[in-house]
Amino acid sequence: MDLTTRIRRRQQTGNSSPVIRDYEAISPVAHIDEPAQRGPTLERLLDYLDPVFDGHTPTNAYVWGATGTGKSAIVTALFTQLSRLLTSSAPVIHTSTRAQTTDTPAFIHIDTRRADSPFGLYHALLDSLLEESIPEQGVKTEALRTRVVDYFRPVDRNAVVAVDHLNEPGGVDLSMVAETIAPIADSIALVGIGRRPSDEIEAELSIPERIEVPPYEHHALVEILTARSSGGLTEGAISHEQLRRLANWADGNAHDALAALFCAADFAEAAGYDRLRETELTEGMNAVPQPSAALGRVHTLQRNRQLVLRRLIDLPENELESVDAAADAIVQPAPVDLSSKTVQRFLYELAESGIIQRVPVSSSTGAGRPPSRLEPRFPTPVFRRLYDLDEN
């Protein structure tokens, strides 16, 4: 987020704002520079990456853990820091590539929620490796692949590539990534990241290293919530006891805890209170479905799908009674240059990926297959607020 946006957000909430100082600070989808409470996992990752410090390529690895354990946060933060520190400590060679020494690997993080095709994967790789801008279409997939292969032709070029959000419903699986990237060069180490337990993943790829990221301990989660709310909420807006309650409820899932905190704060703010009452806290927790789809998932959806979701969550109950009705209602107001049929397809896709759920409604009307009611499976108040802030 750029500076202008930040300032504008402050303007919107204003200094008089009783509860929330900075939405970004309590956002479950915010980028974290310094992951907290994950010391042991960081150490394991650093152990695994040890060959890097001698200029070698590590083996392939798989990092896994339940939702909301901070897998993505840890790896992205670690990779960012590593490339910063390793490149600045050695002489820089100026080429068309990003600043890199000859024997320092590139640390790349690819989100398969966005890069979900071979074309997308090659594009993401090149985009990280090269300064120049990479064509987004109009060029053959094979052409991009060739460029990646060419990049790795020099023997001293290597990379550690984290491939995040593997095996999500409707998403990319490890074997697809392995087929696409692994054959390019031996000097590429793949680090798969996903929820599926390590013994469940099947891939035609050797993965010697398996690292599990455990759920947060209760006290660790309290620490995180404390840090976040001291950054994003006003002084005294929430009590330590309330944070403990949240952490207890979330049971190690930082995503859900933050989402509930965000909702509760937002509710209190809207109601004009200067601190969170038990009512808001409870409502906040109730606003997070169990289990909940990740807001990060929603956040990375394409523009039009987010628009559809934004409208969906404001529909009255009676228009959620069938996919057909919802699609029609979504297309109704204001300009959407989408046909009802396309919105319908989006809704089915979103249901497929678990962001919304189709609940079969008991049919009594007789004729035909009964429709299904649509239920969002993510914390809608958070999405609504962040989406609307982004609009301005």
Q: Which residues bind DNA (CB under 7 A)?
A: 117, 119-120, 133, 135-142, 302, 304, 322-324, 337-339, 341-342, 344-345, 348, 351-352, 358, 360, 363, 366-372
Instruction: Give me the least distance between CB of 238 and DNA, in Å please.
Output: 40
Cβ closest to DNA, residue 316 vs residue 366:
366
**What torsion do the CA atoms of 252, 258, 263, 264 make, to the nearest 10 degrees?**
70
Q: Which SS3 state, helix, strand or coil, does residue 263 take?
A: helix
Instruction: Give me the least distance between CB of 344 and DNA, in Å please.
Output: 7
Cβ closest to DNA, residue 138 vs residue 316:
138
CA distance 292 to 377: 6
Distances (CA, A) of 146 to 115, 193, 309, 311: 18, 26, 38, 42
> Please, what is the end-to-end C-alpha distance for the chain in angstroms?
13
Cβ closest to DNA, residue 325 vs residue 389:
325
Parallel, antiparallel or unpaired: strands 356-360 and 209-212? unpaired
* Token duo for residue 66: 């339940």
Parallel, antiparallel or unpaired: strands 159-166 and 188-194? parallel
Distances (CA, A) of 12 to 5, 287, 392: 10, 24, 10
Cβ closest to DNA, residue 51 vs residue 118:
118
CA distance 234 to 237: 6
On whether the CB atoms of residues 214 and 65 are closer than 8 A, the answer is yes
Instruction: Give me the least distance between CB of 118 and DNA, in Å please.
Output: 9
Instruction: Give me the least distance between CB of 345 and DNA, in Å please.
Output: 6
Instruction: Give me the least distance between CB of 328 and DNA, in Å please.
Output: 11
Instruction: Give me the least distance between CB of 325 and DNA, in Å please.
Output: 8
* Token duo for residue 185: 């060069």
Parallel, antiparallel or unpaired: strands 188-194 and 372-376? unpaired
Cβ closest to DNA, residue 89 vs residue 96:
96
Amino acid at 302: Q
Instruction: Give me the least distance between CB of 391 and DNA, in Å please.
Output: 17
Cβ closest to DNA, residue 147 vs residue 210:
147
Cβ closest to DNA, residue 134 vs residue 227:
134
Parallel, antiparallel or unpaired: strands 356-360 and 372-376? antiparallel
